[in-house]
Structure 1
Amino acid sequence: MIHKFICFLIVVLGQNGWSQNSERSVINGKITSNTANTSDLEGVYVINAQTEASAITDASGSFSILAKADDVLVFSSVGFKEKRVVLTSENFTDLNFTIKLNMVMHQLEEVIVKRYDNINAVALGIVSADQKSYTQAERKLKTATALDPTATAGGMVGGSISADPLLNFFSGRTAMLKKEKEVEKKEFFMKLLEKMFSWEHFVERLKIPAEYVKGFEYYAVENDKFTVILNSKNKTSTEFLLGELAVKYKELIAGENK
């Protein structure tokens, strides 16, 4: 008797579900968005809130799902705001049934960056105030020539020094790094000189021919006395010595052109 009752319920529920689906038909539609990226339209869930049937949009944003008038379609995706649409009978005959979704906009809060000039490695105690700062070329040279008294050189009793400085010396690497250091120093002084005096100053004030200005700059920074004055950033003293060098340089040009 119980088995008959269960079978009766299954038949009734099945007929009820079939009758509900028989009242529904396939509706075709498409989603759009205010974003220019069409790839976002793929993978949006379309759920019939009444039957819990679901579909997923394709690459063009198109979808198909069983529904009827007055059913509610829910459009859900991570990148879009959820949207609910109550269907009307006209939607089933509309060949261009389109639903527009809005992108989820994540607005960042205002970020204020404050500059603290008094906070640096010295102020934090990371390095001492009198510690020498090295340029990149100077660091390379110091590393290549530094002796390491803690090296054990293969476990020799009492320790020894690292062989790297010797290898660098005989291979020519030390000489190359020293040359690189000198080139870096000259480039630094060249930039400092060009920052302090304009091209017009060399041509109009010092009477250096325009095509020889760059050569004169190299000539000036080769003078150790001049680079010391230049590095002090005393423009008056630098200009005075630069004038003396300009006279000598023009004499050299005149001698070459004879």
Structure 2
Amino acid sequence: TRNGSMQLKIVATRKEGFDEPITLQFPFRPPGVGAASTVAIPKGQNEVFYPLNANANAEIKKWKVFVIGTANVGGAAWVSSQLANLEVADSFVDLELARTAVEQGKETEIICKVNMKNPFDGDAKIKLVGLPPKVTTEDISFNKESKELVFKVKTDPASPQGRHKSLFCQVEIPMNGETVVHTTGSTELRIDKPLPPKKDEPPKPMPVAKKEEPKKEAPPKRLTRLEQLRLEAQKRLESGTK
């Protein structure tokens, strides 16, 4: 698939008594498809996997491909495989990863939105690749019905602080007995240093009940002149009766 890779299985049928290594080449590569220059079948073995990859612009089409093998049989000998079909397809799924931030030593979640482009049968697996040291998560299984996935990310107190922008997903989809791998999605994980703990505040003083101050006696009321005359008359009257 586009933005994907696969391991093309090559099987050699050896003539009885022939046990030498066989060097393989993939001479025709469709546009946008890459392959190792050579791959060797080791001595005494009959098969090997040839790694292929396709970029985002690889032409979507069924192509005829073949492999050439060479070995030393008292001199260089060459042989070709039969033509085989190699289908370059669009990627199965696009993933949108949300950015997130976390403090060292804590956990967070990365939300993954699934945009299904080419539905497939069975369960596939997603790996979150590019995590910084001392940061872990687990692979997630999904299928063609999945809409949203969540990576639970754990950090360590020693996880490197800063913005980590190299995270992406690797999708592994079983197809016709093989595993088709492609990459999709990217995001950023920011790891922050924990905030320093708050300093202990001094204890607030306990409330103290206020002492009631003795009430001051009210100053004697100043009498009016009329009240003074009445008071003097009252006193004279009282002294006259004694």
The TM-score, its normalising length taken from structure 2, stands at: 0.23
Q: Which has the larger radius of gyration?
A: 2
**Higher strand proportion (structure 1 or 2):** 2
Q: Per residue, is there more helix in 1 or in 2?
A: 1
User: Which of the pair has the greater relative contact order for Cα pairs under 8 Å at 6+ separation?
Assistant: 2
Normalized against structure 1, the TM-score is what? 0.22
